[in-house]
Amino acid sequence: MTLARTYQDLSRPGAGGTAPLSATAAAAPRSGRLVLSGIYKRFNSSPVAALHDVSLHCQPGEFVVVVGPSGCGKTTLLNIAAGIVHPDRGSAVLDDKPIRFPGPDRAMVFQDHALFPWLTAQQNVEFGLRMAGMGAAERRQRSMEALRMVHLGGSGKKLVHELSGGMRQRVALARALVMDPAVLLMDEPFAALDAQTRTLLHHQLQLLWCLTRKTVLFVTHSVGEAVRLADRVIVMHAHPGRIRKVIPVQLPHPRTFDSADINELARLVRREIEEEVNRVNAALAAEDSWRPKETADLGAPAGDLGSGI
Amino acid sequence: MLLLATWEAAFRTFQWRPFIFPAPSQVLDAMLNMLGISSGFGKPLHAGWPLVAREPLDSSPLLSRVLHSPLISADLVSAARLVVGFAISVMLGAGLGAVMWRWIAVDDFLGPVFLGLQTLPSVCWVPLAVLVFGLSETGILFVLIMGSAFGISLSMRDGLRTIPPLYHRAGLMMGARRWRLYRHVLLPAALPALASSLRQGFSFAWRSLMGAELILVAERRGLGFLLKTGQDYSDIAQVVAVMVVMVVIGILADRLVFAPIERRVHLRFGLAGAG
Ligand SMILES: Nc1ncnc2c1ncn2[C@@H]1O[C@H](COP(=O)(O)OP(=O)(O)OP(=O)(O)O)[C@@H](O)[C@H]1O
Ligand SMILES: [Mg+2]
């Protein structure tokens, strides 16, 4: 309740700017320390490891963004943190508890919202609470609060297909937040949205994160998105998946998204990714022996074709 | 309509013999007769046609006569068999479909067998039913279930396969484990598939039931039996009338029950076109 109200005060235009926000931000969280160490994972169908000795240490309340070429193992890393995929070697630990199964201390926002089409928006948000055995009245109140946080207080009764793409993604975010997890795992959650909607959601996510101070592990292909949101940007190396470079973003939150600092950092990250992509492409070209074939010889000379007639 | 009129006209003009193929009016006659109402539609045209009809033999009130008429009681018997048999068939088929979806080994084994059995015309089960269950209600239900359960289980399995794995993972992430995952995620996600297999399964069940009643006549009840009686008395008008009733019931059940269920599910899931 208080959280929702504070959020609404803060998000009102001209309501005090940045200073009060950092002041009201929740005290440094004690839970949400995510430690991935020496993770190695190879899928049976592939000769190369999807993840090769990846170690990542997320502080409580830290916003970590992972970028890298397609197929470098970002989703796999997130799934390991979620407990959906199990690493071959290495350990994943959250607040001193090993991660073995999916659990309510971690919530995931998927690229394709993954909302259940047979439920309304509010029922979707309530789903995790219902599975946890919470009573209907409290469930309704909590889910309403979560929906208001993403500015969808009026759309609770809508069915999933009646929501726009951006609204769906916000419901998915509310569905994750309502569980009050220690860690929020987000796999390209805004990739399918247009630039304006995405910027809007970046602002909302920043505000929500400033308020709740959850640990966030966020995967994206967008460099702009990475530097806007991250405390730390992890650039991945592909085939096998490794951490190539860690770029800290030491700018105060919430951020002005088009500041010179951010643009400078974005250039840096982009250069890093481009180098990696070029390296991957060069490696692929080298190992691939495929060439366009010579014009194929079509067998018997044309003169013979009619000879039997 | 035009076709029916032409047919009727041709019949009356050329004086075809009614035992070769009946006119629509005679079919109507037969149908009303089976409803306990005598009419004169099939009689030659004359003054006052068709009102001048045979006097009913018994003079009980019209409503009770209709309710106790052969056609209505046959309908009720067939409907009762259909409801019981189809319910069992759906439970069995959907359950087997879910098992086949869940365990690949079971599917590898049963899938091809079921596919084969499904292509078997359902009346082929009649001899087996007679030998095992005798000439009994159970035998008729057996034929109905065998005729529809395999199709339902196959379409249930295929429907479950179309569930995006993402739902599965999202459910797991939100704490839906084991039976809760089935009850709250996979079952609802399978609803569109279930609705379609229900609709398809019904037409199989209805066909099988009619076939079974026609051949397995020991119980001497049901719509299929009425058809058989028509054959035995060489009453072509009755045969055609019963066939018409069968088709109409099939269409009505589909339009009034199964199509609306399917449509509602599709609306909910946003699968219907510009609805
Ligand atoms: N379930 C799976 N079975 C087999 N191989 C898999 C599986 N999941 C991922 N992989 C392989 O592991 C590698 C990493 O996949 P992952 O999905 O983590 O990449 P990603 O970085 O998320 O890519 P993208 O940016 O395209 O989403 C890929 O080479 C992929 O083919
Ligand atoms: Mg991915």
pLDDT in tens, A242-280: 888 888 888 887 787 778 888 888 888 888 888 888 888
Q: What is the pLDDT of residue A66?
A: 93
Phi, psi dihedrals of residue B143, rounded to the nearest 5°? -60, -45
Collapse the DSSP code of A44 into the 3-class scheme (helix H, G, I; strand E, B; otherwise coil) and give the result. coil
- Identify which of A76, A110, A190, A277 to mutate to test ligand 1's pocket (most ligand atoms within 8 A of the CB): A76
Minimum Cα–Cα distance from B269: chain A residue: A117
Q: What is the pLDDT of residue B55?
A: 52
Whether residue B274 lies within 8 A of chain A, CB to CB, comes out as: no
Minimum Cα–Cα distance from B192: chain A residue: A118
Q: Which two tokens stand for residue B66?
A: 């209709």
Asked if the Cβ–Cβ distance from B174 to A179 is below 8 Å, we say yes
Task: Express each pLDDT in A157-207 by its tens digit.
Answer: 899 999 988 899 889 989 998 988 889 999 998 888 888 888 888 888 888
Q: Which of A82, A118, A131 sits opposite B191 (nearest CB)?
A: A118
Minimum Cα–Cα distance from B188: chain A residue: A118
Asked if the Cβ–Cβ distance from A179 to B180 is below 8 Å, we say no
Q: Which of B173, B189, B270 sits opposite A160 (nearest CB)?
A: B270
Ligand 1 atom having least distance to the Cα of A111 = 27
Residue B198 contacts residue B258 (beta carbons within 8 Å): yes
Rounded to 5 degrees, what angle do the CA atoms A264, A270, A272 make? 110
Fill in the amino acid letter for B10: A
Q: What is the pLDDT of residue B256?
A: 92
Q: How near does any CA of chain B get to the CA of A107, in Å? A: 6
Asked if the Cβ–Cβ distance from B184 to A160 is below 8 Å, we say no
Minimum Cα–Cα distance from B171: chain A residue: A128
Give the Å distance between the CA of A188 and the centre of ligand 2: 7
> Which residues of chain B are within 8 Å of residue A131 when distances are taken between CB atoms?
174-176, 180, 184
**Judging by DSSP bridges, how do beta strands A183-187 and A106-109 pair with one another?**
parallel
Q: What's this model's pTM, rounded to 2 decimal places?
A: 0.74
Residues 105-164 of A with CB under 8 A from B: 106-108, 110, 112, 114, 116-119, 127-128, 130-132, 159-162
Adjacent-strand bridge partners of A186 = A109, A218
> Which residues of chain A are within 8 Å of residue B180 when distances are taken between CB atoms?
131
Q: How near does any CA of chain A get to the CA of B267, in Å? A: 9
Best interface-test mutation with B: which of A86, A112, A113, A118 has the largest number of B CBs within 10 A?
A118
Q: How near does any CA of chain B get to the CA of A80, in Å? A: 12
Q: Considering only CA atoms, which residue is closest to atom 30 of ligand 1?
A: A71
- CB-count burial class (<10 Å; 0-12, 13-18, 19+) for B223: buried
Q: How near does any CA of chain A get to the CA of B157, in Å? A: 20
Collapse the DSSP code of A284 into the 3-class scheme (helix H, G, I; strand E, B; otherwise coil) and give the result. helix
> Which residues of chain B are within 8 Å of residue A161 when distances are taken between CB atoms?
269-270
Minimum Cα–Cα distance from A111: chain B residue: B166
Q: Considering only CA atoms, which residue is closest to atom 29 of ligand 1?
A: A71
Q: Which one-letter DSSP state was computed for residue A293?
A: P
Task: Using a CB cutoff of 5 Å, list residues around ligand 2, an ion.
Answer: A 75
Which domains, from first to last, does chain B contain?
78-268 (1.10.3720.10)
Q: How near does any CA of chain B get to the CA of A104, in Å? A: 6
**Judging by DSSP bridges, how do beta strands A97-98 and A89-94 pair with one another?**
antiparallel
pLDDT tens track, chain B, 275 positions: 777 777 777 766 666 565 566 777 777 777 777 776 766 666 665 555 555 445 555 566 677 777 777 778 788 888 888 899 999 999 999 889 989 988 888 888 888 888 888 888 888 888 888 888 888 888 888 988 998 999 899 988 888 888 888 898 899 888 888 888 888 998 899 888 888 888 889 988 988 888 888 887 666 778 888 888 888 887 777 888 888 888 888 899 999 999 999 999 988 888 765 44
> Which residues of chain B are within 8 Å of residue A179 when distances are taken between CB atoms?
174
Q: What is the pLDDT of residue A218?
A: 94
User: What count of CB pairs under 8 Å joins A to B?
Assistant: 59
Q: Cα dihedral angle (B28, B33, B35, B37), rounded to 10 degrees? A: 100
Residue B29 contacts residue B22 (beta carbons within 8 Å): no
Q: Considering only CA atoms, which residue is closest to atom 16 of ligand 1?
A: A73
Asked if the Cβ–Cβ distance from B268 to A112 is below 8 Å, we say no
Whether residue B190 lies within 8 A of chain A, CB to CB, comes out as: no
Q: Which two tokens stand for residue B34?
A: 């089976």
Q: Which residues form the pocket of ligand 1, taking CB atoms under 6 Å from any ligand atom?
A: A 43, 45-46, 50, 70-76
Give the Å distance between the CA of A75 and the centre of ligand 2: 4
Whether residue B275 lies within 8 A of chain A, CB to CB, comes out as: no
pLDDT tens track, chain A, 309 positions: 444 444 544 444 443 333 334 434 455 667 888 999 988 999 988 888 888 888 999 999 899 999 988 888 899 999 999 998 999 998 898 888 898 888 888 999 988 888 999 999 999 999 999 998 888 899 999 999 899 888 888 888 899 999 988 899 889 989 998 988 889 999 998 888 888 888 888 888 888 888 888 899 999 988 888 988 999 999 988 888 888 888 888 888 778 777 888 888 888 888 888 888 888 888 877 776 655 555 555 554 544 554 545
Asked if the Cβ–Cβ distance from B173 to A106 is below 8 Å, we say yes
